[in-house]
Amino acid sequence: MATEKILVIGSQGQIGLELTQELRTIFGENNVIASDVKLPEIDNGLFEILDVMDKNRLNEVFKKHGVTQVYLLAALLSATAEKNPRFAWDLNMEGLFNVLNAAKEGIIKKVYWPSSIAVFGPTTPKQQTPQYTVMEPNTIYGISKLAGERYCEYYHQKFGVDVRSIRYPGLIGYKSAPGGGTTDYAVHIYHEAIKNKAYTSFLNAETELPMMYMPDALQATIGLMEAAADKVKIRSSYNVAGMSFNPEQIAAAIRKHIPEFKIDYNPDFRQAIADSWPQSINDSFAKEHWGWQPKFNLETMTEDMLNNLKGH
Ligand code: SER
């Protein structure tokens, strides 16, 4: 079997940093090329400066490394996208077109593209949100992700492109910082709990959202990409779930380790975004089709996050 050459686009982002490390452990340092619009702070392996909107440069990188698989993670997230909607649309869509078209032309063989719970909107059922349901997102980010999902399925059906996708919930990890999401509070809260024993949340106490610990997200992502093609029956994007909680509940989980921890609330524009999203997700298709199974819950994640952050 030919060796896979994997390109991670957006390798300096919250998912990219951790996914690149994990892919290198599995597939070998020389088979995973990191790329981003800016140079990494620490030089740790094959890297290319790459703006995914620059089609010529993209094809140059594909050719130079003989890339077979792409993980396309470059995007503007929900909160930043609301501040710069035109650029968010251009980046999120143009990047996807460039990569899907390369796959259509046979230049690359397999594509991973992340979608999000942001594809759902205020008219979607909030509890145990099904795979197939009302989808009327009211954020630019969500609109771009839903359009992207439709494009992925279209490219699979019309042109046989092997594209795979997950609708991520909020992602929480200690190795990388989130940037511009509505679920970012659930990462910041751990840092502040250790530093200041206090946190002011930009979402109110009752805002329940679906979340996932990064090791589970990596396992889901690579698990889906490594699944046999015939098991990947959904080519728009799969619902996956880890856990669900609100700011009050995560604060309570932290207090089991840091009893003095205090939380207060000062909701901003991100509250409306969060209020438009599901509270919990039904992921039975991912479990059934390719064996998805999360490992972490709020308690085990909190223990692991705090232990690792204290060590840093
Ligand atoms: N975590 C993302 C955000 O908050 C959702 O995909 O924007």
User: How is the chain split into domains, by residue range?
Assistant: 6-169+213-239, 171-211+243-311
Q: Of 3.30.1330.60, 2.60.40.10, 3.40.50.720, 3.30.499.10, which CATH number belongs to 6-169+213-239?
A: 3.40.50.720
Of all protein residues, the one whose alpha carbon is nearest to atom 1 of ligand 1 is 170
Which token pair is 125?
Answer: 């059922």
pLDDT digits (tens, 9 = 90+) for 22-62: 999 999 999 999 999 999 988 889 999 999 999 999 999 99
Q: pTM for the full model?
A: 0.96
| Superfamily per CATH, domain 171-211+243-311 | UDP-galactose 4-epimerase, domain 1 (3.90.25.10)
**In Å, what is the CA distance from 310 to each residue of 133, 165, 217?**
42, 34, 22
Of all protein residues, the one whose alpha carbon is nearest to atom 2 of ligand 1 is 181
Pocket residue to mutate for ligand 1, from 184, 213, 239, most atoms within 8 A of Cβ: 184
Lining residues, ligand 1, CB within 6 Å: 77-78, 116, 118, 141, 168, 170, 181-183
**Which residue ranges in the chain fall short of pLDDT 50?**
none
Amino acid at 99: V
pLDDT of residue 43: 81
User: What is the rounded CA–CA span in Å between residue 69 and residue 29?
Assistant: 15
Of all protein residues, the one whose alpha carbon is nearest to atom 6 of ligand 1 is 116
